[in-house]
Amino acid sequence: MRLLLGQFAITFLVWLGLAFFFAEMNEGSKVIFYLVTSWLLYLLVVIVKTWFREHRKTKGTNR
């Protein structure tokens, strides 16, 4: 989970830098921006899925 959160944080910082210059981007740069955005959303889904799995696993052992 820590690796996923670290990757999300670093990718988010890159995404913020790209978003700051979005108006000045050419078509190639926008493709890279959209790829980074897609990766960020994918990481978010994986983080939520992992969190629910861990939460369910720990909740099941407490019964």
| Contact (CB, 8 A) for 1 and 52 | no
Give the domain ranges of the chain: 2-61
Q: Three-state DSSP class for 63?
A: coil
pTM assigned to the model: 0.79
At 63 the pLDDT is 54
Residues of the chain with pLDDT under 70: 61-63
Residue 63 to residue 55: CA distance in whole angstroms? 13
Q: How far apart are CA 15 and CA 7, in angstroms?
A: 12
